[in-house]
A and B are shown apart, each in its own frame.
Chain A
Amino acid sequence: MTTDSPTPDTGPELLPIATTARTRAALRTLIRPDRGLALTGIGILVAATAVGLLVQPLLGRIVDIVADGRPAGDLTLPVVLLVAVAVVQGLTTTLGLTRIARLGETVLARLRERFVERALNLPADRLERAGAGDLTARVTGDVARVAEAVRSALPEMARSVLAIVLTLGALALLDVRFLLAALLAVPVQLLTARWYVRRALTLYADQRVANGAQQQQLLETIGGAVTVRGHRLEEQHTERSAGRSRKAVDLTMRSVNLVLGFYGRLHIAEYIGLAAVLIAGFWLVRDGAVSIGTATAAALYFHSLFGPVNAALVLLDDAQSAAAGLARLVGVTDLAEQPEPAAGEPAAGKAEAGKAAPASVPRQRIASSEAAVTVRAVSHAYGPGRPVLHEVSLTLEPGEHVALVGTSGAGKSTLARIVAGVQQPTSGSVTAPAGTGSAAAGVGEHPVVLVTQEVHVFTGTLAEDLRLARPDASDADLRTALATVHALEWAEALPEGLATVVGEGGHRLDPARAQQLALARLVLADPALAVLDEATAEAGSAGARVLERSAEAALAGRTALVVAHRLTQAVAADRVVVLEAGRVVESGPHDELRDADGPYAALWHAWSGSRTTAPHP
């Protein structure tokens, strides 16, 4: 019943995927700093493989010695040589593989670091258009796929290819006719590989999708078990889970059948080649062209090819899928880095502030006249025909707290994002506290901070989470910030205090605490201007009250724009601005607007649930 294709008309505008040529070029750039490592690594592996190829001729030599009935002492030399070969091969293989692994891991680390850096610096609207899912899929799925290829496929592929090439060369050295006989297997192998890869790519892609769908269904069903039971949806969800699981099983069986068919065909190739090499040996020995030992060595060579050939062919689709993953990663790392200064904010000032030595604590807010915001005739549209804001103008005095209210879709969040400098308006300008002009004023390096209702607790210790806002903060700074937002008590009561691991897989924080953490980060970042977008919405009504107290404390001494849906926030603000359909329709202190007969009074009465004016406490 359900499909996994995104609805076409809402399909997000996915991030780009690099072309093959671009991917190759990017790969070369990534490898360039470690060229030496690459060359020596491959060189050593070639040596290791070449040494290993001495085994079969040495065994052939032993066969010749016993076939000729020579004295047993003659066996000593080839046997000693066999042991020597084994030792050298073991050592060089270890060395070569280690170098290849170091190369692969270094390049991989370079790639994923570049990817994360670019991803986190994508412009906000680009990010919104792409949807977080695309980025997440790339940073988990594609990075894992490339890493898997680097870790297991790359070394095995390198060894297999070297073994195949050098073994074929060795066969030719024994007698070129052995090589020709062995090559009879190649057409079958090539056809098989083509047959396989063609089917494998789509099948494995389908299988990944089916596994993802199954995982998602189970997460929904199990994560929402209380809802499922409460609404009596058990049967529905068991059926859905069974369907998704069944589909994943079916696709797995199809790929199993494909791989098995692939091996079946390779067995045919093996037989053809082996029979041909044996027949060639028969002719050549009969004609006296080669010794029995040489014929034996040739047969053993060919037998020893089975493993590497199968491995290389099976790895083809790993390599292809890794290449596809790589293209998706390079697609993002290739995006030109676009700095996005808030409108009116001097870019140079920002860069300078970023590099400036962090001011040492204590930091004190100096409400200078610069710390004000002027929004001039800002209009915004999320695409043609979807206007959100119309010529909005607004001024925030230094230290002023302004509450932005209005119905859903009035454009509150968009205005908040524009004021915070996270979103560029279609037209108009915003003058934000520009890097605070003088870092000497003791103001934090970030002029504006936006906290939304989207809570995210970063995985790691609580202290690490907080330090994202100010990497050089001391433990005392962290405690002070937590205390400011009334979160120190519970934070210290955590199993390991500030060293408790929180976030995914760690200690779970409820939404209210997670949001307090976000507010503590705001305190640490210490901006002149703070923008709060329904930062208290996710908590239940009782939690919201606690959060409002925290928010109030976090905003003390700052200029603040607060998008509020609980009108208690409006009551506490210096001024209320009512937004309706993208336009400012009312502005003034709460008491004044409540007593006026405007849109705010209507909102207030609806919210407070009384037509009569609520008594003043």
Chain B
Amino acid sequence: MGADSAGRGVIRRAVAGQRRDVTVGSVLGACHQIGEALVPVLIGLIVDRAVVRPDGGALAIWLVVLAVVYTLLSFGFRFGARAGERAAEQAAHQLRLDVVRRVLAPHGGAEAGRPPGALVNVATEDARRVGAVNMALTLGIAAVVGVVAGAVLLLRASLPLGLLVLIGAPVLMALGHFLARPLEHRSEAEQEQAAHASGVAADLVAGVRVLKGLRAERAAVDRYRATSQASRDANVRAARAAALQTGLMLTLTGSFIALVALVGGRLVLSDSIGLGALVSAVGLALFLPGPISVLAWVGAELAKGRASAARIADVLAAPGETTGGTAEPAAPAPGELRLNGLGHAGLDALDLTVRPGEHLGIVVTDPADAATLLHCLARRCDPERGSVELDGVPLTELAPAALRSALLVAEHDAQLFDGTLLENVTAAAPDGSDPRAAMDAAAVDEVASALAGGTGGRIGERGSSLSGGQRQRVALARALAADRGVLVVHDPTTAVDAATEARIAAGIRRARTGRTTVLVTSSPALLAATDRVVLVDGGTITAEAPHEDLVRDHPVYRTAVLT
């Protein structure tokens, strides 16, 4: 209910934002429809005035009139449709950016319950459908004018014949629609099943390496063949339904024309109307289903637009992960991070102070607890109990965006973006800073030398042309180059070989000298390079000492990092 009215608001804004183009499109579209209605009438008139009793002068005059009508309808169509399409595209573009802005808003929350594919669909397909409401509106207004114009022309020619066509045409359309409805429903279901087949094919191809490793090519082909055949059958059934609908409409329209011809012929014979009126009526009977079916289409488009608008409104109004917080952290931040009795999900009463400039390792035995801790530090959630403070200010009082300018949480699955290697490394770096130290520290130089084009080489969407370990190194270099007062890194080297990992451990130490750095990891190489390690086991801190000491003295720790 709420989403519905919010959806209407989205549509209203989409239309109002483009009202000039919508108006122009409607007016010019109406000109086109009137022109189309006049053409069959003019054919009738020309036969009546110039052919029945051949009259060259009249023919010439009427052909000029026909030319004028053609010019009107052609220009009306061309510039009307252009305005309508522009209104549709512009509105969709605006909505697309609204969705992107909402998703990227610092307090987040738009992704909750929506996989990325679904959100992208909202930004593309739903935005397009709401935009298309503008086009549907112009065409709908023009079609109404077309129907009215046809009606006026018919009624002027002959009242009874006009009424017959005017009442008959919509009845005909309604009848066709009514008879076709069960078919349409069925065909939609069939098409959905058919779309599934192409998804299966793409999925198998995407997993081709896995299939090859498994020697399961044959099983996959067999499975695809079964899906493809089911899809073929579904499509044939859908096509049969569509063909039946086409045939049905042909029969109905043809019979209706016969009826108009019969009634019109009798009227001419009883001298009620002229011959031209009969020809015009037949022509208009052929024309009217056009704009009427446009109106039916407009109705369907508006329904789709409403559903899409509700989805967009839902995303735009999604609650944030956190609320409030407007303060700016101290700049430059000294970088003291303190947990005061932090409790959230599996974490309980964590007390910890990370001194400015300290390099701290945190080993969390439960991956879920590690994720919770990172969320709390990045202010992706506000803790249920206790608090997290940066330089004495609780994170809940800080604006999330401003917080992240001072404290960067580099998540394990941080994503890379299409562009060059260098662009990725420097994406978050201060303007004019030198990325070489960060690249050296994260052993990205090796990645660059293996990449065609070196640091200027493109890494593909989400870094797809790099291996897992290479992606991790680039992401780490980006986090180091960002040069934040506090850096929290989560498992940055899980896909990196042991020798490189040791090099990276020393690199992080070097690149972050004197700056607060927290490594949430169970990699012994990284932990050995920290000043102090905290062990979080069962949601609470159970040990706190340098790595070497813990390895020597603490069996739980040893199990956690060395086996």
Nearest Cβ on chain B to A595's Cβ, whole angstroms: 17
Asked if residues B257 and A127 are in contact (CB atoms below 8 Å), the reply is no
Asked if residues A241 and B100 are in contact (CB atoms below 8 Å), the reply is yes
Query: When chains A and B are docked, how far (Å) is the Cα of A67 from the Cα of B268?
Result: 9
Asked if residues B404 and A229 are in contact (CB atoms below 8 Å), the reply is yes
Nearest Cβ on chain A to B422's Cβ, whole angstroms: 13
B235 at interface, CB cutoff 8 A? yes
Q: Which residues of B contact A553 (CB under 8 A)?
A: none
B366 at interface, CB cutoff 8 A? yes
* B551 CB contact (under 8 Å) in A71, A267, A610: A610
Asked if residues B254 and A89 are in contact (CB atoms below 8 Å), the reply is yes
B236 at interface, CB cutoff 8 A? yes
Nearest Cβ on chain A to B217's Cβ, whole angstroms: 5
B283 at interface, CB cutoff 8 A? yes
Asked if residues B378 and A2 are in contact (CB atoms below 8 Å), the reply is no
Main DSSP-derived SS at the B contact region: helix
Asked if residues B246 and A607 are in contact (CB atoms below 8 Å), the reply is no
Return 22 A-B CB contacts under 8 Å, by A number. Answer: A7-B458, A9-B452, A59-B257, A66-B268, A67-B275, A83-B254, A91-B251, A94-B248, A116-B224, A132-B209, A214-B124, A220-B461, A224-B414, A224-B462, A237-B417, A241-B100, A295-B51, A299-B47, A450-B214, A525-B216, A541-B521, A610-B548
Nearest Cβ on chain A to B188's Cβ, whole angstroms: 14
Q: Which residues of B contact A585 (CB under 8 A)?
A: none
A105-B236, A231-B428, A538-B468 known; A10 and B123 CB under 8 Å? no
Asked if residues A456 and B268 are in contact (CB atoms below 8 Å), the reply is no
B321-365 vs A, CB cutoff 8 Å, 1 = contact: the mask equals 000000000000000000000000000000000000000000011
Q: Which of B265, B452, B467 has the most CB of A within 10 A?
A: B265
* A113 CB contact (under 8 Å) in B73, B225, B499: B225
Nearest Cβ on chain A to B448's Cβ, whole angstroms: 13
Nearest Cβ on chain A to B449's Cβ, whole angstroms: 10
Asked if residues A606 and B501 are in contact (CB atoms below 8 Å), the reply is yes
B123-159 vs A, CB cutoff 8 Å, 1 = contact: the mask equals 1100000000000000000000000000000000000
Asked if residues A237 and B104 are in contact (CB atoms below 8 Å), the reply is yes
A344 at interface, CB cutoff 8 A? no
Nearest Cβ on chain A to B374's Cβ, whole angstroms: 10
B65-108 vs A, CB cutoff 8 Å, 1 = contact: the mask equals 01100100111011001100110011011001100110111101
Q: Which residues of B contact A135 (CB under 8 A)?
A: 205, 208
A267-B73, A541-B494 known; A229 and B104 CB under 8 Å? yes
B229 at interface, CB cutoff 8 A? yes
Asked if residues A59 and B282 are in contact (CB atoms below 8 Å), the reply is yes
A86-B250, A116-B201, A229-B404 known; A565 and B498 CB under 8 Å? yes
* B200 CB contact (under 8 Å) in A246, A459, A567: A459
Asked if residues A222 and B222 are in contact (CB atoms below 8 Å), the reply is no
Q: Which residues of A contact B396 (CB under 8 A)?
A: none
Question: How many residues of A are counted as interface, with CB atoms below 8 angstroms from the partner's CB atoms?
Answer: 180
B418 at interface, CB cutoff 8 A? yes
Main DSSP-derived SS at the A contact region: helix
Name the residue of chain B whose CB is nearest to the CB of A242. Answer: B97
Asked if residues A90 and B251 are in contact (CB atoms below 8 Å), the reply is yes
Q: Which residues of A contact B163 (CB under 8 A)?
A: none
A395 at interface, CB cutoff 8 A? no
B385 at interface, CB cutoff 8 A? no
Q: Which residues of B contact A219 (CB under 8 A)?
A: 116-117, 120, 461
List the one stretch of B38-46, B291-299, B302-310 in contact with chain A.
B38-46
Nearest Cβ on chain A to B418's Cβ, whole angstroms: 6
Closest 8 CB pairs between A and B? Answer: A86-B254, A609-B528, A90-B251, A101-B239, A94-B247, A606-B502, A450-B213, A224-B415
B410 at interface, CB cutoff 8 A? yes
Asked if residues B59 and A90 are in contact (CB atoms below 8 Å), the reply is no
A106-B232, A296-B279, A541-B523 known; A127 and B216 CB under 8 Å? no
Asked if residues B66 and A565 are in contact (CB atoms below 8 Å), the reply is no
Nearest Cβ on chain A to B42's Cβ, whole angstroms: 9
* B210 CB contact (under 8 Å) in A256, A518, A610: A518
Contacts of B466-484 to chain A: CB distance below 8 A: 467-470, 478-479, 482
B1 at interface, CB cutoff 8 A? no
List the one stretch of A19-27, A136-144, A360-368 in contact with chain B.
A136-144
A543-578 vs B, CB cutoff 8 Å, 1 = contact: the mask equals 111000000000000000000010110010000000
Query: When chains A and B are docked, how far (Å) is the Cα of A508 from the Cα of B478?
Result: 28
Query: When chains A and B are docked, how far (Å) is the Cα of A281 from the Cα of B56?
Result: 12
Contacts of A382-435 to chain B: CB distance below 8 A: 405-409, 420, 422
A504 at interface, CB cutoff 8 A? yes
Q: Which residues of A contact B364 (CB under 8 A)?
A: 542
**Number of A-B residue pairs with CB-CB distance less than 8 Å in the complex they form:** 531
Q: Which residues of B contact A236 (CB under 8 A)?
A: 427
Q: Which residues of B contact A318 (CB under 8 A)?
A: none
Asked if residues A136 and B206 are in contact (CB atoms below 8 Å), the reply is yes
Q: Which residues of B contact A85 (CB under 8 A)?
A: 254
Asked if residues A471 and B222 are in contact (CB atoms below 8 Å), the reply is yes
Contacts of A256-278 to chain B: CB distance below 8 A: 256-257, 260-261, 263-264, 267-268, 270-271, 274-275, 278
* A449 CB contact (under 8 Å) in B119, B213, B505, B558: B213
Q: Which residues of A contact B261 (CB under 8 A)?
A: 59, 62, 75, 78-79, 82
B495 at interface, CB cutoff 8 A? yes
List the one stretch of A174-182, A189-197, A461-469, A488-496 in contact with chain B.
A461-469
Asked if residues B120 and A218 are in contact (CB atoms below 8 Å), the reply is yes
Query: When chains A and B are docked, how far (Å) is the Cα of A227 from the Cα of B427?
Result: 11
Query: When chains A and B are docked, how far (Å) is the Cα of A79 from the Cα of B282?
Result: 13
Name the residue of chain B whose CB is nearest to the CB of A617. Answer: B558
Nearest Cβ on chain A to B175's Cβ, whole angstroms: 13
Name the residue of chain A whose CB is nearest to the CB of B248. Answer: A90
B220 at interface, CB cutoff 8 A? yes
B397 at interface, CB cutoff 8 A? no
Nearest Cβ on chain A to B501's Cβ, whole angstroms: 7
Query: When chains A and B are docked, how far (Å) is the Cα of A454 from the Cα of B370?
Result: 24
Contacts of B410-427 to chain A: CB distance below 8 A: 410-412, 414-415, 417-419, 427
Nearest Cβ on chain B to A102's Cβ, whole angstroms: 5
